[in-house]
A and B are shown apart, each in its own frame.
Chain A
Amino acid sequence: MIEWLGVGETARRIASGETRAIDVTEAFLARIAALDGKVGAYLAVAGDTARMQAEGIDRMRANNVPLPALAGVPIALKDVLVTRGLATTAASKILAGWIPPYDATVVEKLHAAGAIVLGKLNCDEFAMGSSTENSAYHKTHNPWDLARVPGGSSGGSSAAVAAGLCAASLGTDTGGSIRQPAALCGVVGVKPTYGRVSRHGVVAFASSLDQVGPLARTVGDAALVLETIAGFDPRDSTSLDAPVPKYRDALVGDIRGLRVGLPHEYFAADLDADVRAALERTKQALADRGAELIEIALPHTHLALPAYYLVAPAEASSNLARYDGVRYGARAEAGSLIEMYERSRGAGFGAEVKRRIMLGTYALRSGYYDQYYKKAQQVRALIKRDFDKAFQHVDVILTPTTPAPAFPFGAKSSPLDMYLADVFTLSCNLAGLPGASVPCGLTPGGLPIGAQLLGKALDEPTLLRAAAAIEAAVGLGDARPRGLPS
């Protein structure tokens, strides 16, 4: 089936003329129409523009115009990436009906590479959450067990890829929002080094942590998409001016001599037994292939969660000040300007977003700054130092992506319980490092488990090389989600 070919093979078939781009796009649109009622991955499907783009690719080929790297490959976007002429909501009511007047840089880059944009994917409101249950619109179901969450915040992005509703997708990762849903849905997710991918046109959550990255069914496909979206952008003041390697060239399969760090803080006694067993098999597979396993310590790991949940909400409370009923989105009528702001925001934001705005405002208010925000930034520096020390001895770090596999809807009853779902993924963002989640097996009950790899800044090639080795040794192979027709 065309929907399972993946990014590289789809591009190859279209370029060679074996398959027309319009047929690929129609196949995906038909599958979305048939199955997304069960999955709920999409907030909006852009059928007409996708068909026009696909027909354009077919015309290029008919006229012997050289095709770009992703020509005709259907990709879908987390709904925090702004798209010209296509509604962008960040899964929030406050942006309902907003049609952006420009494209995010990553969207421009996908268009330039010939990719077909199928539509916009569900997520937690403003990317705040770990289950996609915070979407103001609807639930997204995990394709491996429709009674469970797909993870979050990029839950639509992970579910769509797992269910074969797009060849690959883009998500954003502020504290694990690409890697955690990738792990829970059995797909590959890459959070690049901070600054590697432009944030221009990304609905901002926490500006010092946010990063865009790919989700795909294979490491090779993720590498190909990352290659397309990475690179310097003068419109993002934090963009890194560094050359973009050919990431696919790193997938050589040889990991002999690779030094893999194992931080004991991530393998504590309360780790889920199935996750622990899968990680043990992963370690063994890496050792069998010639990698050197090295015990390391990241002693400030236990402070990552409190540091993150002060830094991220503080930045969010500032970033979300722009949703005030003046320039875009919904407005509540009121007599005075201040009251109009307060009523518009009170009606437009959901419970978790309000909670984080309140937490961030509390931490930043006059007189409390040193106690909370500054202290969290100092701890952030200590967490970064831990990694700097560890990377003097190892090339890459291996941990579980999540403490447990996908959980049922409604299982996390308090905000803190939900925050703990990200406990292994937060440090990476605080330190600005690249991270990836790669499937490393299924539980006896058939739920995917993810292995997390963390790398040195800008060393995505080593990260992807290790990820490809795990994929080859203990990945899911041709296993497809239960509960959905293949």
Chain B
Amino acid sequence: MTKEEVEAIAHLARLHLEPDEIERMRGELAAILEHFGALAAADTEGVAPMTHAVPMDLRLRPDVVAPSLPVQDAVGGAPEKAGELFVVPAVIT
């Protein structure tokens, strides 16, 4: 796995990695993926992928308003807030 490949995945994951972390990740991810090569050999022709542990349909609930978290509680843990709003760095500059 190349340094550029690791950097591209890290960016997709929105994860800053230091240069030594990138180097370590190259080796570790390659070793793990190599070990997972056994999967490729498994015969899965015609097998439907199992997305959940038990078969289930999405449940619908009646379309009525129910109590939910008060806004002040919901924003209470934010590192930066203004009244009822989360504050983030400027998106458009």
Contacts and interface: CB of A to CB of B under 8 A. Distances in A.
Interface of A: 98-102, 193-195, 208-209, 234, 237-238, 240, 300, 302-303, 305-307, 309-310, 317, 321, 324-331, 334-343, 345-347, 349, 351, 354-355, 357-359, 361-362, 365, 371-372, 374-382, 384, 414-416, 429-432, 457
B42 A327 contact: no
Contacts of B17: 346, 354
B86 A415 contact: no
A351 B22 CA distance: 11
Contact of B50 (A300, A359, A381): A381
Given A337-B89, A384-B50, A358 B76 contact: no
Interface centre among B17, B29, B32, B50 (most CB of A within 10 A): B50
A429 B44 contact: no
Contacts of A429: 53
Contacts of A100: 77
A377 B91 CA distance: 37
Nearest to B54: A432
B29 A355 contact: yes
Contact of A375 (B33, B44, B54): B44
Contact of B14 (A306, A321, A328, A415): A321
Contacts of B89: 334-337, 339-340
B48 interface: yes
Contact of A309 (B21, B32, B86): B32
B36 A309 contact: yes
Given A330-B79, A355-B29, A310 B39 contact: yes
Nearest to A353: B15
Contacts of A307: 39
B58 interface: yes
27 contacts: A102-B73, A302-B38, A321-B14, A326-B88, A327-B74, A327-B86, A335-B89, A340-B88, A342-B16, A345-B14, A354-B17, A355-B28, A355-B29, A357-B15, A358-B6, A358-B13, A359-B32, A371-B40, A374-B49, A377-B49, A377-B51, A378-B49, A382-B47, A384-B50, A415-B31, A416-B32, A432-B52
B80 to A, nearest CB: 7
A375 B40 contact: yes
Given A101-B69, A306-B38, A379-B42, A346 B29 contact: no
4 closest cross-chain pairs (CB), A and B: A432-B53, A346-B16, A377-B49, A194-B53
Interface residues of B, number: 52
A302 B38 CA distance: 9
A197 to B, nearest CB: 13
Nearest to B86: A326
Contacts of B86: 326-327
Given A302-B38, A375-B40, A362 B78 contact: no
Given A101-B69, A303-B39, A336-B89, A343 B16 contact: yes
B42 A382 contact: yes
Given A326-B86, A340-B89, A358-B10, A303 B52 contact: no
Contact of B54 (A240, A378, A381): A240
Given A329-B79, A430-B53, 9 more contacts: A101-B73, A102-B69, A102-B73, A193-B54, A337-B89, A372-B39, A378-B44, A381-B47, A381-B50
A317 B14 CA distance: 10
Contacts of B10: 358
Given A340-B89, A358-B9, A361-B9, A414 B31 contact: yes
B64 interface: no
Contact of B39 (A306, A331, A338): A306
Interface string B1-41: 00000100111111111100100010011011101101110
